[in-house]
Amino acid sequence: MIYNFTQAIGNEVTNAIYYCYSFGYSFEFVVRMRLSLFSDFQDLWSSFMFNLLSNSVSIKNIGINLKNYLGDEKIPGRGPLAAGEIAKIFRLVLNF
């Protein structure tokens, strides 16, 4: 049990700053590494388009699920379910 309130808040803020910096550094590293695999913009664009083509059925199914989650108010916890579907779409679209 933590009795010192300022210590508890201070530790969380300090950790948050470090995790934010670490995420930014890792994100930049991964983006630079992935972009270095492509020779030019045309190579990048064709890879992106073929990725969309190969994942089009999955993206359509996720879109239908998302429409159902946002349209039906009877589904409990539909906000997190919709956020999960949006994350799946981002993962499929940007993984090329």
Q: DSSP characters for 16-58?
A: HHHHHHHHHHHHHHHHHHHHTT-SSHHHHHHHHHHHHHHTHHH
Q: What is the mean pLDDT of the chain?
A: 84
Q: Count how many Cα atoms sit within 13 Å of the Cα of residue 85 in the half-sphere of its side chain.
A: 19
Express each pLDDT in 4-36 by its tens digit.
666 666 677 778 888 899 999 999 999 899 889
Contact 35, 94 (CB under 8 A): no
Position 6, amino acid: T
